[in-house]
């Protein structure tokens, strides 16, 4: 069984490495590879597999990339949005508050070496920082797609949403139960207080209602 698991993991990582290369070449508008372009993907995948992660894992990265595939027609620069997805939780420590900023700075260091222009690097870093608030400005189509893709888990089927909530709790296992319940409930109320969780037309039509139902269910369980 362990060998099968390792084989599956290798296949998933190989698929992600190929997605990285495809995205990078499209963003650079070339068929020419930079020197060893996979080293960037490999570094990021090591980060996404760190032991402190329970929700913010390679599975989450894959899910966000898949959701961007669904939403790409709503983005002005879908390849830059995909690169932002790779970096948006690349630095993640549950007990730190500056993860997004550190992830953005990582992108600012790595992407020039990968051959992106200064304007492209700036846009990817801006999108990564936007995941602090998930509140893109009106007309920010790239920001809307990234934020919707990142929050799409909120609209998952009830069992998948429950698994997500449990994984978040595991990441914060160092926080006492009562403190966690209070903080998590505040986050849920803040989300429910937003006029719209999703900004793209697709997200608004397909995910908004289910997401609010999941949030209200979790909040009721926390309050109970």
CATH number assigned to the domain comprising residue 18: 1.10.1300.10
In 3-state terms, what secondary structure has residue 174?
coil
Average pLDDT, the chain: 94
pLDDT at 1 over 60: no
CA torsion sign for 141, 145, 148, 151 is negative
- 162-171 pLDDT, tens per residue? 999 999 999 9
* Confidence (pTM): 0.94
pLDDT at 222: 94
Q: Are residues 147 and 207 in contact, defined by beta-carbon separation less than 8 angstroms?
A: no
**Alpha helices, DSSP H only, in the chain?**
2-28, 38-48, 58-71, 78-87, 99-113, 118-130, 141-151, 158-171, 177-192, 201-206, 208-223
- 37-89 pLDDT, tens per residue? 899 999 999 999 999 999 999 999 999 999 999 999 999 999 999 999 999 99
In 3-state terms, what secondary structure has residue 93?
coil
Let me know if 169 is exposed, middle or buried by CB neighbors in 10 A (0-12, 13-18, 19+): middle
> How many Å apart are CA 123 and CA 164, to the nearest integer?
29
**Residue 224 pLDDT class (50, 70, 90 cuts):** confident
Higher-confidence residue of 223 and 66: namely: 66
Average pLDDT over residues 122-150: 97
Average pLDDT over residues 184-196: 94
pLDDT at 94 over 70: yes
**Residue 10 pLDDT class (50, 70, 90 cuts):** confident
Domain that holds residue 102: 2-223
Domain count, the chain: 1
Torsion of CA 205, 145, 160, 220, to 10 degrees: -70
CA 69-74-79 angle, to 5 degrees, is: 50
Could you tell me which residues come within 8 angstroms of residue 168 by beta carbon, excluding any fewer than 6 positions away?
A: 54, 55, 184
pLDDT at 37: 82
Q: Quick count: other Cβ atoms within 10 Å of Cβ 190?
A: 9
Maximum separation of any 2 CA atoms in the chain, in Å:
57
């Amino acid at each position: 069984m362990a060998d099968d698991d390792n084989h599956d993991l290798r296949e998933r990582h190989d698929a992600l490495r190929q997605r990285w290369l495809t995205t990078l070449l499209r963003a650079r508008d070339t068929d020419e590879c930079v020197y060893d372009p996979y080293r960037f993907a490999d570094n990021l995948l090591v980060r996404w597999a760190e032991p402190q992660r329970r929700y913010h894992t390679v599975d989450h990265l894959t899910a966000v990339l898949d959701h961007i595939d669904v939403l790409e027609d709503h983005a002005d620069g879908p390849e830059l949005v995909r690169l932002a997805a790779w970096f948006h939780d690349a630095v993640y420590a549950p007990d730190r508050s500056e993860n997004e900023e550190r992830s953005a700075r990582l992108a600012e260091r790595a992407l020039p070496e990968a051959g992106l222009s200064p304007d492209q690097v700036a846009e990817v870093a801006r999108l990564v920082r936007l995941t602090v608030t998930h509140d893109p400005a009106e007309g920010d189509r790239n920001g809307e797609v990234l934020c919707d893709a990142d929050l799409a888990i909120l609209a998952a089927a009830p069992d998948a949403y429950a698994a997500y909530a449990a994984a978040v709790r595991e990441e914060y296992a160092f926080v006492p139960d009562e403190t966690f319940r209070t903080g998590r409930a505040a986050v849920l109320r803040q989300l429910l207080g937003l006029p719209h969780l999703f900004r793209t037309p697709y997200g608004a039509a397909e995910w908004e209602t289910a997401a609010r139902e999941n949030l209200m269910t979790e909040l009721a369980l926390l309050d109970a």
